Amino acid sequence: MSMQEENVSASYVEPGGKNVTLIYILYLVGFVVGLTALVGVVFAYMNRDKVEGWINSHYTFQIRTFWLGLIFGLLSFLLMFVGIGFILMVVAAVWVIVRCVKGLQMAGRGEPVPDPLTWLF
């Protein structure tokens, strides 16, 4: 691998805008390959508080998206035995997707998440 290729791949792992974008993408790919979402939350925890400004708000938002999505998913799974869980699972998936897409848009513009502690979008 050339020096330039190493720098490009390292920039996605280091705290910053590229890492924030990578985490959102890992969350979205997590719907197909579940482990990528876990890798994404590990990156978010590793890099949170290592940078200042708008990037840190995204790490907080991503961590909350992971844990709330996991809780909603597990609750939906448990409620499948009653029947309503199937609908709630779809709602939880849409909720995670919307948060990731909005986060990607804000990160692409270099904007902070207005309220990273929100339960909504």
From first to last of its 121 residues, the chain has per-residue pLDDT tens of 554 555 555 677 788 899 999 999 999 999 999 899 999 999 999 999 888 889 999 999 999 999 999 999 999 999 998 989 999 999 999 999 999 999 999 999 999 999 999 988 7
Look at residue 59 in the predicted model and tell me its pLDDT: 96
Q: Looking up tokens 């579940």, which residue turns up?
A: 34
The pTM of this model reads 0.89
What pLDDT, on the 0 to 100 scale, is given for residue 46?
94
- Residue 12's nearest CA partner among 1, 23, 28 is 23
> What whole-number distance in Å separates Cα of residue 28 and Cα of residue 100?
7
What number of other Cβ atoms are within 10 A of residue 72's Cβ? 17
CA distance 52 to 75: 35
